[in-house]
Structure 1
Amino acid sequence: MYVKASPNRFFYFCTRKQQNSNFFKQFNMKKISVIALVGVGLLLASCDKGKTAESAATSQEQTVAESKGETLAVDTAASVVNWKAFHKGGMAPRWGTLTVKSGDISVDAGQVAAGNFIIDMNSIKVDPASVTEKDKKPADLEAHLKNPDFFDVAKNPTSDFKITSVTDLKDAPKDAVAGANKTVSGNLTLSGKTMNVTFPAKVDVTENSAAIQAKFTVNRADWGIKFGTSEADPAEWMISKDIEIAIDVKAKK
């Protein structure tokens, strides 16, 4: 004796099985999508964690502050510009130094009134400690930074910063240089293009000297340095547009 299954019951069974199959496929796809979104979130978070300095406010070139009072010459041996850049989603940071070639700071009534610093782009150095890959060499990275992909130093051997204003700083951002007491604005020229940047700084003036210390982040694409900034290519998108700049300029009589 046997029970004959009706066509309707057989159709119901097959349809239910197909629905279950589709459900699990959709569930797995959603699961994969969530994992992918989490991965992207972690990647973006790692990019943010790489930065240690606030982004400078950027605008068009402004009128340079007039020199007045006493002018002090920059002590190039005691001054330096440190830089830091990232790629691979904020990982594998590179850092190094640039030499201050010349400059001066004007002091009037005990306050910095103006200033001008010339940076030697041919002096760019990559700290060997930042190059951990066995197939990479600091000298090769320095050569790449000097070529037209980045700073094109053959065409633009120097960069410069010219102060446009110095004002009192009330509340220093958490990532500002220690002891920040002023807001400094100035025209920063990189690769032949000039933009005005504003950032918190520590400014000290004594009877015989003046010093400016600051750290801030700029977007190199604002200066037309766009190598590796295309979001259409995932490999290029992983190269950060941010450059952290830390200046330590000292001037004396």
Structure 2
Amino acid sequence: MKRILLAAAIGTFLLASCQNAPKADKVEASEAQQVQTSAGADYKADLAQSRIEFIGTKPVGKHHGNFLLKDGDLVVDNGSVTGGKFTIDVNTLRADDQDSTGNAKLGGHLLSPDFFDVQKFPTANFEITAVKAGIDTASVMKDATHTVTGNLTLKGVTKSISFPAKIAVNNNQTTAEANFNIDRTQWNLSYGNDKSLGDHFIAPEVNIQFHIVAAKG
């Protein structure tokens, strides 16, 4: 009986320890789409207020970090976002869920050729190809107002993705928020994607969250 109870306890511990990506809409990557010229006024991204965050998971925990924008803008026509493009400065990647030594070690590894290979690919990009009012009824992000489609470029690989977003436009400022999961291996970020690694396995699914604030130029 003790052995059975011990086995059950171990099983419960292992299940509890196994971390999944945060609950969010999972996006499917497809071939990059053609970008059309968008009519409207340019709203320049506020680099100080805008942020991009990520969460990666493994069997025994998770890691949180962020990037800074290098530049970006949204195009707004008649009160609706019609386009936009953002450049992420990959070299600004910072891990922020450990002590300073642990964060520096993890950040350095993520910037190495194992992951983002920042020496070859110093920037990442997202360019909007379509914005549609409304979201899928099955969306996890219930307060989202629009569905955004665009080309995401990471590590030199460009794929089209669609995700729900909360967008608010006024005369002088536009904000956009989103929270979704991607499969990093579709952008050749494959390090650690082998379950035989045990505790060193890194889940392919990564959570992405962004908050963009853009002001009319």
Q: TM-score, normalised by structure 1?
A: 0.75
Matched, 1:131 2:98: yes
TM-superposition CA deviations, 1:170-207 (whole Å, max 9, x none):
4555632x621000111111111111111100011111
- Pick one of 191, 195, 198 that aligns with 1:227: 191
Give, in angstroms, the shift of residue 70 of structure 1: 0.9
Partner of 2:107: 142
Report if aligned partners of 1:164, 1:185 keep a CA contact under 8 Å in 2.
yes
Letter in 2 for 1:118: T
Letter in 2 for 1:131: Q
TM-superposition CA deviations, 1:190-225 (whole Å, max 9, x none):
111111111100011111121111011111101011
Q: Which has the larger radius of gyration?
A: 1
Show the 5 A alignment for 1:148-167. 148-167=113-132
Show structure 1 runs of 5+ residues with no match.
1-27
TM-superposition CA deviations, 1:75-117 (whole Å, max 9, x none):
1111110111111x2x421102110110111111111000001
Matched, 1:113 2:82: yes
Task: Call closer, same or farther: CA 1:179–1:235 in 2, change over 3 Å.
Answer: closer
Task: Call closer, same or farther: CA 1:184–1:44 in 2, change over 3 Å.
Answer: farther
Paired with 2:140 and 2:87, the residues of 1 have a C-alpha distance of: 26
Q: Which has the higher contact order (CA 8 A, sep 6+)?
A: 2
Partner of 1:16: none
Paired with 1:232 and 1:105, the residues of 2 have a C-alpha distance of: 44
Report if aligned partners of 2:65, 2:94 keep a CA contact under 8 Å in 1.
yes
Pairwise CA RMSD: 2.6
TM-superposition CA deviations, 1:109-156 (whole Å, max 9, x none):
1110000011010001111xx227x9x611011000000000001111
Q: Secondary structure at the match of 1:142?
A: helix
Larger helix share, 1 or 2: 1
Larger strand share, 1 or 2: 2
Percentage of pairs with the same residue:
33
Paired with 2:174 and 2:36, the residues of 1 have a C-alpha distance of: 17
Paired with 1:39 and 1:195, the residues of 2 have a C-alpha distance of: 39
Show structure 2 runs of 5+ residues with no match.
none
- Pick one of 178, 200, 204 that aligns with 1:241: 204
Q: How many residues align?
A: 212
Show the 5 A alignment for 1:75-114. 75-87=46-58, 89=59, 91-114=60-83
Give, in angstroms, the shift of residue 233 of structure 1: 3.7
Task: Call closer, same or farther: CA 1:166–1:44 in 2, change over 3 Å.
Answer: farther
Letter in 2 for 1:141: L
Paired with 1:44 and 1:183, the residues of 2 have a C-alpha distance of: 34
Task: Call closer, same or farther: CA 1:235–1:45 in 2, change over 3 Å.
Answer: closer
Identify the range of structure 1 (162-171 vs 99-108) with the bigger mean alpha-carbon deviation.
162-171
Task: Call closer, same or farther: CA 1:147–1:45 in 2, change over 3 Å.
Answer: closer
Report if aligned partners of 2:167, 2:176 keep a CA contact under 8 Å in 1.
yes
Give, in angstroms, the shift of residue 243 of structure 1: 1.2
